[in-house]
Amino acid sequence: MAVHLNHTIVSARDSHASAAFLAEMLGRPAPTRFGPFLCVETDNGVTLDFIDAEGDITPQHYAFLISEAEFDEIFGRIQARGLVHWADPGRRQPNAINHGDGGRGVYFEDPSGHLLEIITRPYGSG
């Protein structure tokens, strides 16, 4: 039996802003609507389905495995926007990237405070 992640729901203060931010930062097509959700699809068919939530948002972590060339493009967008970014999930190494497993990685926040990560090598692959 094959098991594949199909989608996850992402609570947002403003689903339009958060979905558009993710799509733009990752170079994905514009979000599509599915009922109350705004969906951003990854290349492996998984969607992040953004929905407006009232009250406090519990920040989550979303990591994206990308190529070296895509890292350059996305990190360029992070820098062009002047976004605070970190080399580590604990946010103790600001304005830096990491080189875990012989690749590159960086963390940054979306408009709702979710911690986004881009990495060029899967953890444990080095």
Give pLDDT, residue 93. 98
Averaged confidence pLDDT in the chain: 97
Model pLDDT, residue 26: 98
Q: Mean pLDDT, to the nearest integer, of 26-48?
A: 98
Domain spans in the chain, listed from the N-terminal domain onward: 7-119
Phi, psi for residue 90 in degrees, rounded to 5: -80, -5
Q: What are phi and psi of 98, to 5 degrees?
A: -110, 170
What is the average per-residue pLDDT within 37-53?
Answer: 97
pLDDT at 69: 98
pLDDT of residue 83: 97
Burial class (CB in 10 A: 0-12, 13-18, 19+), 101: middle
As a whole-number percent, the residues of the chain with pLDDT over 90 amount to: 98
**Cα 3 to Cα 36: distance, rounded to the nearest angstrom:** 26
Which architecture, in CATH terms, is 7-119? Roll (3.10)
Q: Is the pLDDT of residue 126 over 90?
A: no
pLDDT at 92: 98
Residue 18 main-chain phi, psi, to 5 deg: -70, -45
How far apart (Å, rounded) are the C-alpha atoms in residues 88 and 59? 16
Return the residue matching tokens 């953004």. Answer: 50
Place 1 in a pLDDT band, splitting at 50, 70 and 90.
confident
